[in-house]
Amino acid sequence: MVFLNGRFLPIEEASVPVLDRGFIFGDGVYELVPVYSLVPFRLDEHLARLERSLAEARIRNPHSRTQWRDIIYRLVDGQPFEDQGVYFQVTRGVAKRDHSFPKGVEPTVFMMANPLVTPPRELVENGAAAVTAQDNRWLRCDIKSISLIGNCLLRQLSAEAGAAETILFRDGRLTEASASNVFAVKRGMILTPPKNNLILPGITYDVVTELAQANGLPLELRDVAEQEVRAADEIWVTSSSKEVLAIVSLDGRQVGDGRPGPLFARMYQLYQEFKQKVMRAGKREAVSA
């Protein structure tokens, strides 16, 4: 069962007109919320980011926060599996093809829940490989836009190299990766770029920075030079589906001693404990680190 424009229906029966501006222009925004044991993780933060993406894209938000929550809970409760990835997107709607905004058009809302795929234990324990590339995407990476051709092209570079991610640099500085945020560790200090227009404000990025601060792990939000990443003792990527994943090889060269590092092990444990805390609190509670 999926949700399309106010109705729950089987995915085979869900269809969108070819003139939808999501199809024609990639003119829409999206979210992906991980759900553990039927409990959406950081739902309010995801909804706040959706509201911000819609406002920045100047797409009318068709639902109140309460309505969004209700739709998500109904979708989650209607699935036969407990750990889910709830994907939803809002496009500017269906209109004759013209770049400028149409008037009086209803946004299209689509939502589906799939089984959540997190990294297998082997990858968590041994770490993953990444390659690097120049970040050649647009300058509004803070909007969670469905126009993902830039990210797809960059992700494909790592896919073809048999690696898990493509880590990106712009003007000699770390931005993020094709579908995750990036942290580097040097001499016990955790480094990550501050949020700005060049990166997606990751919900997992926030959880990781909050957990570091709450547990006294040294953290600096600042510009990180490409050379610092290449010389890092540890590199992590974070996202709602990857959670926190150690990168142990960068462009074929070993990171640190080639094994997930001690700070990764600590953060991974803190993240798993935090998830457990959220699950125990139940789905309508907000939990802070």
Ligand X SMILES: Cc1ncc(COP(=O)(O)O)c(C=O)c1O
Nearer to ligand X, 65 or 259 (CB): 65
Supply the minimum distance, in Å, between the C-beta of residue 192 and ligand X. 11
> Which range touches ligand X (CB under 6 A), out of 155-163, 183-191, 200-208, 266-274?
200-208
Using the rule CB under 6 A, is 239 a contact of ligand X? yes
Report how far residue 92's alpha carbon sits from residue 102's, in angstroms, rounded to the nearest whole number. 8
Residue 195 annotated to the active site: no
DSSP state of 258: S
Among 96, 103, 144, 242, which one carries the catalytic annotation? 144
CA 83 to chain centre: 16
Binder among 202, 256, 260, 261 for ligand X (CB under 6 A): 202
> Which range touches ligand X (CB under 6 A), out of 11-19, 83-91, 111-119, 199-207?
199-207
> Which range touches ligand X (CB under 6 A), out of 57-65, 86-94, 217-225, 238-246?
238-246
Using the rule CB under 6 A, is 175 a contact of ligand X? no
Using the rule CB under 6 A, is 176 a contact of ligand X? yes
Using the rule CB under 6 A, is 240 a contact of ligand X? yes
At CA 184, angle to CA 181 and CA 188, rounded to 5? 140
Q: Which residues have CB under 8 Å from 39's CB, separation 6+?
A: 278, 279, 282, 283
| 261-to-30, 121, 141, 163, 258 alpha-carbon distances in Å | 33, 16, 29, 19, 8
Supply the minimum distance, in Å, between the C-beta of residue 42 and ligand X. 8
Nearer to ligand X, 39 or 200 (CB): 200
Supply the minimum distance, in Å, between the C-beta of residue 151 and ligand X. 6
- Answer whether 78's CB lies under 8 Å from 106's CB: no
Please, where are the H alpha helices in the chain?
A: 21-25, 43-57, 65-77, 121-126, 149-160, 203-214, 226-230, 262-281
Footprint of ligand X on this chain (CB under 6 A)?
A: 151, 176, 179-181, 200, 202-205, 238-240
